[in-house]
A = this chain, B = another copy of it.
Amino acid sequence: MAHGGGGQLTAELIAGVILPAVGGQDPAALTDAAALPAGEGTILFTTDSYVVQPLEFPGGDIGKLAVCGTINDLAVAGACPVALSLALVLEEGLEIALLRRVLASAGRAARGAGAAIVTGDTKVVERRGEPGMTVNTAGVGHALPGADLSFTRVAAGDAVVLSGPLGQHGLAVMSRREGLGIAADLLSDCAPIHELTAALVSQLGADVKWMRDPTRGGLAATLAELAAGAGRNVEVRQDAIPADPTALAAAEMLGLDLLTVANEGKLVAVVAPGAAGRAVEVLRGFDIAAGAAAIGTVGDAADLPLVEMLTRAGGRRIVQMPYGEELPRIC
């Protein structure tokens, strides 16, 4: 608790553990706010708090997740990530070694994406059970030239493209949490997707109309958001949705619908009719999107827009926005 008092111990924690791990600047140069060049045009600004448990999971940890999550929110808004903040709420008794690992992972993820962690904050609170932590990242980015993304541009006949198989993040976390043997080789897909979005925008220009990352609530929540925001029905084909056999089996065991499970390195894009092939080709040029596919089509305007899935069996199923909690503390 004393490390959160704002005194010498806090300064030592920041200078000795946090800054070296995230690759930050000289503590003597720290100010209350970081200066960034304004650039030209539009600034994009976003935030997310991360409460995932456990803090480390197959394929990632809360540090990498927090950095990638905020980079991805900027990316799908059509921005190039520039700078991140990192605010920690640590629970008393958290191992310093664990903190170092998580922060080093956050720093690597940020450097890998060319987005500097430029400002931060550290608080300490009482533990609840096993000492944990929550991480908030906010991010600032510059709008990509040529990006013109909005629900209002989505039209009938547009194609819905997905960058790869579903559910790996949520199932990796759950299987670690539940000690599920079958999913031992299942890794979270946690990854920055800003190169995917930048490539789509630079190659397809205004043919890219809307993008989202299907995190909490999964593809189901993202498609429901698309339908509601655009005021149009959306139809997807089950046999076109990329699937990972291990994830499918794990979802089956846990009684979960893969459509509602969180992803942390996937992209959903709506592109103009006829641009789906090019979009899939561009995406497949990236390892993390090797499984990209066109999965559906935007339909007519509707007062109560629906998402429908054509099932493998030839039926139609309505895909609903998940109601409440399927997987607590998944991100």
Contact = CB atoms under 8 A, between A and B. Distances in A.
A35 B44 contact: yes
Interface stretch (A83-91, A271-279, A293-301, A308-316): A83-91
Nearest to A260: B7
A73 to B, nearest CB: 4
Interface residues of A, number: 85
Contacts of A89: 49, 51, 89, 134
A182 interface: no
Given A2-B323, A7-B216, A32-B212, 18 more contacts: A5-B217, A5-B322, A5-B325, A6-B221, A7-B325, A28-B228, A32-B72, A32-B77, A33-B45, A33-B46, A33-B79, A35-B43, A36-B45, A47-B87, A48-B121, A89-B89, A125-B128, A125-B134
Interface stretch (A95-103, A106-114, A137-145, A159-167): A137-145
Interface in A29-88: 31-51, 72-74, 76-77, 79, 83, 85-88
A125 B43 contact: no
A120 interface: yes
Contacts of A10: 216-217, 324
A258 B121 CA distance: 23
A215 interface: yes
A50 B8 CA distance: 19
Interface in A117-173: 118-121, 123-128, 134, 136, 138-143, 149, 151
B43 A140 contact: yes
A328 B42 contact: no
Contacts of A320: 8
A3 interface: yes
A213 interface: yes
